Structures are given as structure tokens and as C-alpha cells.
Chains A and B, each alone.
Chain A
Amino acid sequence: MRVIEPWVAEPLQRFLTESSARLALLMTASGQVVAQHGFTRALDVMSASALGAAIVASTEELARQMGAGPFRALSHQGQTQGLFLSAFAVPRARWIVLVVYDSDSSLGLVQLFFDQLVRELQAAAPDGEAPREVLAADFETELNASLRSLFGR
């Protein structure tokens, strides 16, 4: 597991242990990665975070147009693997979690321990100012720094 925000590590590790999830990606609503587990290539993390953020944005807009409240979570069940995607609030921001699980786990287990993860992140989040917006000019530098943290390169 690799994290950019150190206070995320303990709750996320507990979630991974309890849920037996295979892959996990924690990101901001704009797709900036906060932590990852199980990914071995930076390219996969970048693609998954961009797609995850886009799916959440699309479903939230769909819910808005339908006059429904925001969707709580989205799940896809495949033959051998399942995917769970959900957005949630932490004190300074709105984050998204993307989880991939296989037959060692289940949607029920992921949902159960996701609720616990959210509570623990909300409790552990440090007080302070909201994170600054990343400007286009800084984007590549920020991205490279994040990927170095996430992959130790």
C-alpha cells in the first residue's frame, strides 16, 4: 500500500485486511490519487483514477437530472471480480474510493467495511484549510510527485 496523506494509511490498511479487497484506490473528486493498494503500474493508477472520477461525476449528474439524490455507490459484478465505487465526504474535501475484489471477498463485505473506513477517515482527517487547487501549470509536477510517492520511484 502507498499513501500520499499519511493519516490515511491506518484506516485503509484496516479496510484492506478486513474486506480482503484486491485493489483499492482512494482519490479526490477530481481524480488526484491519495492512496493505492495493489496496483503495480503508474499508468494503471492514472487510468483508474481518471475513469473512477469520471464515472462518479457522470452518475451524480445523471442522478441530478433524474431528480434523485446522489447515488450512494456503484458496483459491477463480473464472473470472477467485482468493482465497487463510491464517493464520500471527509472534513476538507470529497473523496472517491474504487475497490476491486475477487472470490476472497464479496460486495457485502466491501460495503460493510467501506462504511467503517469512511467513519475512520472522517475521524482521522486533520483540521486545516481545504487543499489548494492544482493549476494546469503545476499539474505535471504534482502528478510526478504523487506517482513517486505511490510507487517509490
Chain B
Amino acid sequence: MTTGLGAALEPITRVRGVRGAMIVSATEGILVAEAVMEGVDAQAVAALAAGLAARLRRATDAAGRGAPVFIHLEAEAGAILAVPGERDLLVVAVTQADVNVGLVRLELRRAADRLA
């Protein structure tokens, strides 16, 4: 049974097409909790997703739009979705291309709220 922060990831990984989910320290780019399938390098995704989120934060700040609330990076074979949460944490999902993005977003948001 998964407990604590790991439990917050379970509803995300239950969505069809999600290949992994993780909680990342946004400032440090360090993995806090993860539940990923084989073939997903969780440490690398954590470090790079946190870096991406930090840069996007600067972009939205510069544009006078405040902090990002949802990040969707679409790639050839899937996507990386992320929602910044409280306590400097970032909830990230790695998905296949045919995933229901709206449902993953909802679960990411709920997971982020649970971290508050």
C-alpha cells in the first residue's frame, strides 16, 4: 500500500494512458515521490520538468500573467503535464499521446491540492 505523498499519485496513474506521475521539488529539481512505468527516467524528468517550469514561470511573469497553473508539453509520442502545488512542489505526469488530458489535469490539480 502506498502512503503519504506517494498516495497522492495513485489517482493520476490510474488514468488510462498515464505512464508515470511524480512529485518534484520545484526549486531543486529533485524527485520527492514517484510512480512510473519502466522506460521513464523519473530523475531526469523531475530535473528537466522543474527547470522547464521555472523558465515558464519567468515567461508568464514577464508577460504580466502571474504564475503558471498548468503546463502541457506535447511531444511526438505523448506529453508531459504539470501542475505547481504548495510548498514548492510540482506534480508531473508523463502520458501517451491518446490520453484524456482534461482528466489528467483534474487529477494533477487534486493531487496538488492534497499537498497543501
Interface residues of A (CB under 8 A from B): 20, 77, 82, 103, 105-109, 111-112
The chain B residue with its CB closest to the CB of A20 is B51
Instruction: Collect the chain A residues with CB atoms within 8 Å of residue B29's CB.
Output: 106-109, 112
- Chain A residues lying within 8 Å of B115, measured Cβ to Cβ, are none
> A106 to chain B: which residues have CB within 8 Å?
27-30, 47, 50-51, 54
Residues of B within 8 A of A82 (CB): 28
Q: Kindly report which residue of chain A lies nearest to residue B44, judged by CB atoms.
A: A112
B47 touches A108 (CB 8 A): yes
Instruction: With CB as the reference atom, state the residue of chain B lying closest to A115.
Output: B43
Q: Does B48 contact A (CB under 8 A)?
A: yes
- B112 interface residue (CB < 8 Å to A): no
The smallest C-beta distance from B100 to any residue of chain A, in angstroms, reads 29
Q: How far is the CA of A75 from the CA of B27 in the complex (A)?
A: 14
Binding site for A on B (CB under 8 A): 24-25, 27-31, 43-44, 46-48, 50-51, 54
Question: How many pairs, one residue from A and one from B, have CB atoms within 8 Å of each other in the complex?
Answer: 40
B44: A residues at CB distance < 8 A: 112
Q: How far is the CB of A21 from chain B (nearest CB, A)?
A: 12
Residues of A within 8 A of B30 (CB): 106-108, 111
Asked if residues B51 and A105 are in contact (CB atoms below 8 Å), the reply is yes
Whole-angstrom distance between the Cβ of A110 and the nearest chain B Cβ: 8
List the B residue with the shortest CB-CB distance to A107.
B28
Task: Please give me the residue from chain A that is nearest to B24 by CB atom.
Answer: A108
Complex-state Cα separation, A104 to B95, whole angstroms: 27
- Cβ contacts under 8 Å, B50 to chain A: 106, 108-109
Other-chain contact of B48, A77, A103, A107, A109 (Cβ < 8 Å): A109
Q: A105-B51, A109-B51, A112-B48 are in contact. List 20 more A-B contacts (CB 8 A).
A: A77-B28, A103-B54, A106-B29, A106-B50, A106-B54, A107-B29, A108-B25, A108-B29, A108-B30, A108-B31, A108-B43, A108-B50, A109-B47, A109-B48, A109-B50, A111-B30, A111-B43, A111-B47, A112-B43, A112-B44
Chain A nearest CB, measured from B40 CB (Å)? 14
Residues of B within 8 A of A105 (CB): 51
A44–B78 CA distance with the chains assembled, in angstroms: 46
Min C-beta distance of B71 to chain A, whole Å: 16
Q: How far is the CB of A17 from chain B (nearest CB, A)?
A: 13
Most chain A CB within 10 A, of B24, B44, B46, B47, is at B47
